[in-house]
Amino acid sequence: MDLFRKCFQWKDWKTAQQFGYYPYFTPIESEAGPIVEINGERKIMLGSNNYMGLTNHPEVKQAASDAVLKYGSGCTGSRFLNGTLDIHVELEESLAAWLGKEAALVFSTGFFVNQGVISALVSSDDVIISDRLNHASIVEGSKLAAGETIRYKHNDMEDLERILQKVPDTTGKFIVTDGIFSGEGTVANVRGIVELAKKYGARVMVDEAHSVGVYGSEGRGIADEQGQLDATDLYMATFSKSFGGVGGFVAGPYEVIMWIKHKARPMIFSASLPPASVAGVRKALDLIREGDDRRAKLIANADRMRTGLQEIGFDIGNSASQIIPLQVGEDLKCVKFWRALFKAGVFTNAFIHPATPPNGALIRTSYMPTHTDEMLDEALDLLQRVGKKHKVIR
């Protein structure tokens, strides 16, 4: 049988494109700001992870430009061999010092961090205990690991303890959770997780991808916000959101980082982060640490939208962050709603099955400190009009 047969038979994408409901791979023709241009049309951007608005910051762009002129466009190899520059090491030292960890390690993508760390640490006689709503990169890292994966109910500490009670004391236990969950906008109970980890002898890693830069002292994330940064064994985050770049890192005990550095296949067998990205992230770190005004504005914008969306009648679930979902339900209804919003001038993200449970489709909105009150009021008006028309509002 032809291996490609399933590819030729799969028509979902073609049908969606023919009817104008295909919500993915939309080319943007402008910088990643609160307003973008698509096909020459203005759109209010409510679908970006540029949480601190640093992608376009002149100092970040200048740092990236300077690095290209000094080092060139790439490193021509992996970190393991010829691809480590002095600026990689400087960035890692800065990240570790910022978080109060012994060491840090930079990967070329955040996805690779979770793949590499989990698969490198978890052996056949260990177990991964993972929140059911964890990001796909955690899921993929768990699949690559030799040990068993057990998933607990989302943010449910009773269910987590139930699972921990059943794991033998002789088994290594690794609890992994998102800090902020990327679709739902809910916040992990890191304090509760750490307490249970101490009680049952487990290690903890928090994926701070959507919380770094936004929460905690100097933007250190949710674990810091809840007073658990020191008690968290491993800290993981990406550079593709608040840092406005690409890549990711893990921070923790020196010996553990050295193990990961020599055992994580995505680290050893992929090209290292390009100089421009490293330099841009390093400058973004300085701006994040000094960014209390940006954080305050972002949180104010998110609170404004959460209140406004609820008053209009949208179901936003249990969102408590800058990520606010609009619950829709059926997949087709969701993509039709997305398309209508897009035509009206609002760029959002459509999450449908299997990214959500069956009949759990949602429109994901997210916010930046660079959104003005006028932009948000305009967006609320458009969301209300389109939501009523498509019967998404209660």
Q: 17-21, 174-178, 291-295: which has the minimum mean pLDDT?
A: 17-21
Q: Is 277 a catalytic residue?
A: no
Specify the pLDDT at position 354: 85
Q: Is 283 a catalytic residue?
A: no
Task: Given the residues 182, 211, 319, 321, select the one marked as catalytic.
Answer: 182
196 φ/ψ angles, rounded to the nearest 5 degrees? -70, -35
Specify the pLDDT at position 11: 87
Amino acid at site 301: N
Task: Given the residues 88, 101, 173, 241, select the one marked as catalytic.
Answer: 241
- 151-199 pLDDT, tens digit per residue, is 999 999 999 999 999 999 999 999 999 999 998 999 999 999 999 999 9
Evaluate the CA torsion angle 251, 297, 189, 350 in order and state its sign.
negative
Specify the pLDDT at position 12: 84
- 301-327 pLDDT, tens digit per residue, is 999 999 999 999 999 999 999 999 999
Using CA atoms, how far apart are residues 292 and 150, in angstroms rounded to an integer?
A: 38
Using CA atoms, how far apart are residues 209 and 211, in angstroms rounded to an integer?
A: 6
What distances in angstroms separate CA 388 from CA 299, 304, 308, 374, one per listed residue? 27, 20, 15, 21
Q: Is 241 a catalytic residue?
A: yes
Specify the pLDDT at position 20: 82
Specify the pLDDT at position 146: 96
State the average pLDDT for the chain.
96
Specify the pLDDT at position 51: 97
104 φ/ψ angles, rounded to the nearest 5 degrees? -140, 160
Specify the pLDDT at position 292: 96
Using CA atoms, how far apart are residues 260 and 248, in angstroms rounded to an integer?
A: 14
Using CA atoms, how far apart are residues 64 and 18, in angstroms rounded to an integer?
A: 40
Q: Is 3 exposed, middle or buried (0-12, 13-18, 19+ CB in 10 A)?
A: exposed
Residue 21 pLDDT > 90: no
Using CA atoms, how far apart are residues 36 and 82, in angstroms rounded to an integer?
A: 38
What is the number of H-type helices and E-type strands within the chain? Answer: 15, 13
Amino acid at site 38: I
Q: Whose structure tokens read 């291996």?
A: 3
The number of CA neighbours under 13 Å toward the Cβ of 394 is 11
Using CA atoms, how far apart are residues 352 and 292, in angstroms rounded to an integer?
A: 35
Residue 394 pLDDT > 80: no
Strands of the chain (E only): list them.
35-38, 41-45, 103-107, 126-131, 148-152, 172-178, 203-207, 234-238, 248-252, 323-329, 346-347, 349-351, 361-366
What distances in angstroms separate CA 354 from CA 209, 331, 350, 351, 371, one per listed residue? 21, 10, 12, 9, 31
The tokens describing 118, both together, are 């989990």
Specify the pLDDT at position 357: 87
Specify the pLDDT at position 202: 98
Which strands form 203-207's sheet, in the order they lie side by side?
Answer: 103-107, 248-252, 234-238, 203-207, 172-178, 126-131, 148-152
Domains in the chain with CATH codes: 5-52+292-389 (3.90.1150.10), 58-289 (3.40.640.10)
Q: Model pTM?
A: 0.94
- 74-91 pLDDT, tens digit per residue, is 999 999 999 999 999 999
When pLDDT is averaged across residues 130-137 and rounded to a whole number, the result is: 96
Residue 126 pLDDT > 80: yes
When pLDDT is averaged across residues 265-274 and rounded to a whole number, the result is: 95
Residue 13 pLDDT > 90: no
Residue 107 pLDDT > 80: yes
Specify the pLDDT at position 19: 79
Evaluate the CA torsion angle 206, 209, 210, 214 in order and state its sign.
positive
Task: Given the residues 210, 283, 297, 371, select the one marked as catalytic.
Answer: 210
Percent of the chain at pLDDT exceeding 70: 100
When pLDDT is averaged across residues 139-154 and rounded to a whole number, the result is: 96
Question: If you compute the radius of gyration of the chain from its CA atoms, what whole number of angstroms results?
Answer: 21
